[in-house]
């Protein structure tokens, strides 16, 4: 039923279409045209207006002979890619797809999009008994799950979802952590670095001491933390008065996550106390502004659930040894689980995503397509 050459051609078409976050319009038009050619209507929501993009989330629904008699199923993939993702030139060698080396490949998540389009073709071309299949293509997943967060789920009939946005095809991701994103702005006092450095309070020095005093990386089996960017200063001859630090913390345990965020703030407080100066008899301390937002909430789907069991049985039926996985990263599935649509994440074969070394074994993507088709077949 699966057409491997068509699946390959679809994937190659997709990765050649530029679609950085908030710039997904062209790939959405490609998806819509493909679905319309099958007689499948698509609708686009108003997420673009809410997030400042050029495209909203795209939803399609395929209706089978058992509509209303069996549970609807949702499949989802995101249309955006990380940078550098413009001008992708895919290269194939022995069934492995890579970019030419100066961009990502875009298998994250255009392999998921390609699998969903192949599913639509298979359902339209074959006499399969199924109910309703909802295909959702989201925007701006890579910059904070913005498309999913701004999608009105009342448009869906499904109560169970499968997000095609992971690596290993035989793995079913049943859990992911909560995550905070933090921005710290450290205000010091500027001065001439050569004439009167003692009258300056370096914001960069305060930030460096704070970061040195933070637990970062792998905190424990459930918790991670990272400082991702530092920006500050204006010239080598000026003691810097401002530095901005962006960081994150993730955990599968809500209390551990709150503790980690607190510990990082306390590191800044200690650094401020340790670097105060006295100028003209006055004690001068640095000042910190902190913004922290809960980007998404953790989820854990039990292996006993129908959502998990359908994917597990479909894989086993194909001779795949399915395993469970608890991810360290977030996805649109975090958002949907939080609002009551039980969801797991499935793999498509994308490897080393978010790097110019990204690659995809076509055989894995082909197996992902076989898996979702078999899930639909077994769902009745």
Q: Which domains does the chain possess?
A: 4-176+298-378 (3.40.630.10), 179-295 (3.30.70.360)
* Burial of 111 (C-beta count, 10 Å sphere; 0-12/13-18/19+): buried
pTM for this model (two decimals): 0.92
Q: Which residue in 109, 134, 141, 142 is the catalytic one? A: 141
Please confirm, yes or no, whether 108 is among the known catalytic residues: no
Q: What is the pLDDT along the chain (380 residues), one digit of tens a residue?
A: 899 999 999 999 999 999 999 999 999 999 999 999 999 999 999 999 999 999 999 999 999 999 999 999 999 999 999 999 999 999 999 999 999 999 999 999 999 999 999 999 999 999 889 999 999 999 999 999 999 999 999 999 999 999 999 999 999 999 999 999 999 999 999 999 999 999 999 999 999 999 999 999 999 999 999 999 999 999 999 999 999 999 999 999 999 999 999 999 999 999 999 998 988 888 999 999 999 999 999 999 999 999 999 999 999 999 999 999 999 999 999 999 999 999 999 999 999 999 999 999 999 999 999 999 999 999 99
CA distance from start to end of the chain: 18
| Residue 71 known to be catalytic | no
Which residue is catalytic, options 23, 24, 45, 80? 80
């Amino acid at each position: 039923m699966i057409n491997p050459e068509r699946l390959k051609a679809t994937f190659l078409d997709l990765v050649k279409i530029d679609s950085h976050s908030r710039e997904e319009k062209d790939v959405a038009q490609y998806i819509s045209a493909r679905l319309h050619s099958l007689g499948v209507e698509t609708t686009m929501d108003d997420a673009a207006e809410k997030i400042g993009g050029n495209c909203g989330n795209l939803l399609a629904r395929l209706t089978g002979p058992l509509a209303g008699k069996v549970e609807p199923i949702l499949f989802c993939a995101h249309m955006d890619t990380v940078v550098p993702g413009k001008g992708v030139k895919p290269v194939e060698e022995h069934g492995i797809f890579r970019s030419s080396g100066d961009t990502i490949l875009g298998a994250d998540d255009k392999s998921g999009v390609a699998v969903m389009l192949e599913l639509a073709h298979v359902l339209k071309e074959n006499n399969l008994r199924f109910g309703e299949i909802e295909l959702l293509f989201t925007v701006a997943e890579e910059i904070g799950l913005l498309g999913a967060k701004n999608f009105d789920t009342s448009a869906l009939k499904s109560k169970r979802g499968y997000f095609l946005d992971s690596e290993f095809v035989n793995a079913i991701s049943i859990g992911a952590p909560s995550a905070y994103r933090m921005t710290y702005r450290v205000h010091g006092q500027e001065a001439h670095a050569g004439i009167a450095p003692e009258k300056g309070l370096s914001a960069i020095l305060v930030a460096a001491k704070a970061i040195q005093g933070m637990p970062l990386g792998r905190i424990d089996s459930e918790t991670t933390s990272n400082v991702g960017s530092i920006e500050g200063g204006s010239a080598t001859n000026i003691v810097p008065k401002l530095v901005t630090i962006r960081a994150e913390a993730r955990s599968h345990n809500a209390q551990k996550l709150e503790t980690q965020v607190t510990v990082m703030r306390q590191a800044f407080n200690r650094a401020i106390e340790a670097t105060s100066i006295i100028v003209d008899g006055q004690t001068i301390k640095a000042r910190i502004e902190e913004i922290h937002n809960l980007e998404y909430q953790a989820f854990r789907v039990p292996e006993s659930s129908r959502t998990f069991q359908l994917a597990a049985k479909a894989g086993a039926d194909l001779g795949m040894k399915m395993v469970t996985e608890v991810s360290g990263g977030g996805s649109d599935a975090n958002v949907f689980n939080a609002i009551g649509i039980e969801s797991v994440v499935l793999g498509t074969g994308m490897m080393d995503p978010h790097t110019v070394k990204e690659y995809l074994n076509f055989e894995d993507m082909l197996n992902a397509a076989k898996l979702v088709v078999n899930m639909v077949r077994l769902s009745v």
